Amino acid sequence: MENGTSPVLLQLEGLMVPPSSRSLVFLSLLLSHVFIVGSNLGVVALVWSEHALHQPMYLLMCQLAVNEVMNNLAVVPRILWDMLLPVHRRLIPLGACVTQAFAVHMYGWNIHAILILMMTVFSLGLGFLLVSGLLGLSLRLTRCRSFIPAPYCSNASLFRLSCQNTFINNVYGITYTVVLLTGSIGTVVLTYGFITVACLTTRSRSLNRKALQTCSSHLLLYLIVLFSGLSVIALHRYPEYEDYRKMTSILFNVIPAVLNPFIYAFQCREIYQSLRRVFKRLRIDK
């Protein structure tokens, strides 16, 4: 398959772990995936069923939860399946690889848009166009390789299959990353600057306490997402740390999704009260 034609099937390296640790890693990743899907869908169901939670802040939680679930369904099951196969049988159709890469990059765009409170139809459409352009530039290249040394598909893994000049791809990718991170970080800095000024000028302790509780949860989750993503980007520049990059890329898809229900949802008093009402109704029904 190492020729000038475009292969129908690509070979994923997958997650490489020592045989002695494979069962433990597989079980840990499987349990994390089940928890991510169950807990985040639970948050969505709770907000949907409780009228008191039909507020913008809880809509933000639902957007985060849905985004995490969709990304994990696109990435983690494939990694788990490949762990059950030898490397030479970890084959993926080109179309499925492109779809997975699209889901991964849309996840990165959407989570920043959600966390800076800019998740609108316009931002979703803009992300769709930018990510489509990112992958479109990679698909135009003639592929001379079929092996992807990564746990899952991404834009970088796709254009590196080509033996052609990828200068345009690199420029577009760097520009996309700079625009995304500059807009995200700049918006967060400005927003928290205004919030800080408002808190310093008001004398309401209860208002300041509520702002601190809400903002601390939001800021902590944002920093986790930001530094996870920056770690993956930085490690791309150092081939000698390839194994660390692969593990970090998986953690980027798992850690924020696992922590999201704890950091954001379960710190809110209204969530606790709604959960208590739900469990109380369940006990009464029994």
What is the per-residue pLDDT across 39-53, written as a single tens digit (0 to 9) for each?
999 889 888 888 877
CA dist 281 and 182 (Å) reads: 47
* Angle in degrees, CA 178, 153, 103, rounded to 5: 65
Percent of the chain with pLDDT over 90: 52
**Structural domain boundaries in the chain:** 9-285
Nearest to 71 by CA among 218, 239, 254, 247: 254
pLDDT value of residue 51: 80
For residue 279, pLDDT over 80 is answered with: no
Under DSSP, the state recorded for 10 is E
Q: Rounded mean pLDDT of the chain?
A: 87
Q: Report if pTM > 0.85.
A: yes
Contact between 105 and 134 (Cβ < 8 Å): yes
For residue 133, pLDDT over 70 is answered with: yes
pLDDT value of residue 6: 47
**Between 217 and 232, the higher pLDDT residue:** 232
9 pLDDT band (50/70/90 cuts)? very high
Percent of the chain with pLDDT over 70: 91
266 pLDDT band (50/70/90 cuts)? low
Q: Which helix (H) or strand (E) holds 12?
A: strand 9-12
pLDDT value of residue 282: 66
**Between 182 and 203, the higher pLDDT residue:** 182
Q: Which two tokens stand for residue 233?
A: 């980007």
Task: Give Cβ neighbours of residue 53 (< 8 Å, ≥ 6 apart).
Answer: 46, 47, 270, 271, 274
pLDDT value of residue 218: 82
243 pLDDT band (50/70/90 cuts)? confident
Task: Give Cβ neighbours of residue 180 (< 8 Å, ≥ 6 apart).
Answer: 108, 109, 112
80 pLDDT band (50/70/90 cuts)? very high
pLDDT value of residue 26: 95
Nearest to 39 by CA among 252, 253, 261, 218: 261
pLDDT value of residue 122: 86
Question: Could you tell me the CA-to-CA distances from 175 to 38, 128, 146, 157, 171 in Å, in that order?
Answer: 36, 16, 27, 18, 6
For residue 267, pLDDT over 70 is answered with: no
pLDDT value of residue 1: 45
For residue 67, pLDDT over 80 is answered with: yes
For residue 197, pLDDT over 90 is answered with: no
Nearest to 70 by CA among 98, 127, 108: 108
pLDDT value of residue 272: 65
pLDDT value of residue 269: 67
Angle, helices 121-139 vs 94-115, to 10°: value is 150
The CATH fold assigned to 9-285 is Rhopdopsin 7-helix transmembrane proteins (1.20.1070)
204 pLDDT band (50/70/90 cuts)? confident
From the CB of residue 249, how many other CB atoms can be counted at a distance below 10 Å? Answer: 21
- 201 — phi, psi (to 5°)? -95, -10
116 pLDDT band (50/70/90 cuts)? confident
Report the range out of 44-48, 108-112, 243-247, 282-286 with the highest average pLDDT: 108-112
